[in-house]
Amino acid sequence: MKKIITAVSLLFTILLITCVLFYSRYQSFVSVDRVQSDHILTVASGDTAQSIANSMIAAPDMESKVFLRLFFKQYPNITNIKLGSYKVTAGWDFKTLFEHLVLGEEFQHKITFIEGSTFKEWRQQLSQATGIIDDTAGLSEPEIATLLNIDNPKLEGLLLPETYFYPEGTLVSALYLKSHQKLQAYLDAAWLSRDKKLPLKNAYEALILASIIEKETGLESERTTVSSVFINRLNKRMRLQTDPTVIYGMGDDYKGNIRRKHLRQKTAYNTYVIKRLPPTPIAMVGKTSIDAALHPAKTNYLYFVASGDGGHYFSKNLKEHNRAVRKYILKK
């Protein structure tokens, strides 16, 4: 009987030591750092918690397979990972990693388009952006418009410049479409609440005027006043005579300076030559410029000139304007 008790005690001791060793090795397995560096981890269709875990084990063996099976039985909820792209951090163990993937909070890239930028600049900016797939590379502007189902071959002004967040693998066309829809929704609503008796035929003309306002001043406080100048000139059938339209019409020929010959150069956009608004917007516009175009200040101003402090001096007649030009531009 004594020998049996001794044998049982020895067996129990061996079993206990084995369990302790097993548990110790298991704890070491689940607590080891599995994420070696900060990076974006994409969970694609067909990926499972098991397959992702296996990809993070350098040399899978029978022990690791047993430990993984035990781990997922211990934490069954962490197998409910969601598709998407996630920012993972160096030093995470399996439990921290899979809890993050279960939450489904995808990492979002960020890109900011500034007011007054052009579609050409947007394309260049997006070509250098991270985490985005340019499915419009090699397409012309009219072809991109067709891809987006936009009934206008010119996309200038039809996208809303602001900050956008997007997950890994977003298509450029999807971002364009989102931006266009936001712009169109705001423009449509703003047009319905516009001031009465504006010399604008439709919302697109308001967008064209807004783009000129956008390029003429960076001060929100004076945009409605700048708008009033152009509205007053349109009402009097005066040419708008605004330099940004000359620059836009010159395209790649613009080298940083406008000369007298450029003011006389006949382009579809040169408002020193054409009598009304140019045919399309000349830049992407923000909401405040749209508001300014549709709700101009009530003034008698017909001219303005840069005052040198970031703003403008406004004049009601040509004589006053010429004095302002001599004061602020010619410095006489």
Give the span between the Cα atoms of 228 and 232, in whole angstroms: 6
Q: Which residues contact 37 (CB under 8 A, 6 or more apart)?
A: 90
3-state secondary structure 172-204: HHHHHHHHHHHHHHHHHHHHHCCCCCCCCCCHH
Q: Would you list the DSSP string of 126-155?
A: HHT-SSEE-TTTT--HHHHHHHTT-S-S--
Helices 2-31, 62-74: crossing angle, 10 deg rounding: 80
Spatial distance between the Cα atoms of 283 and 121, rounded to a whole number of angstroms: 10
Tell me 174's DSSP state: H
Are 35 and 92 contacting, i.e. CB atoms less than 8 angstroms apart? yes
Residue in 140, 141, 123 with CA at minimum distance from that of residue 132:
123
**Residue closest to 158 by CA, chosen among 170, 147, 143, 145:** 145
Helix count and strand count (H, E) for the chain: 13, 8
**Tens-binned pLDDT, residue by residue, of the chain (332 aa):** 666 666 656 666 677 666 767 777 878 777 888 888 988 889 988 899 888 888 888 777 888 788 888 888 888 898 999 998 999 999 999 889 989 999 988 899 999 999 999 999 999 999 999 999 999 999 999 999 999 999 999 999 999 999 999 998 899 999 999 999 999 999 999 999 999 999 999 999 999 999 999 999 989 999 999 999 999 999 999 999 999 999 999 888 887 787 888 888 889 999 999 999 999 999 999 999 999 999 999 999 999 988 877 889 899 999 888 888 888 776 65
**What residues does each domain of the chain span?**
32-103, 108-301
Per the listing, tokens 């693998």 go with 169
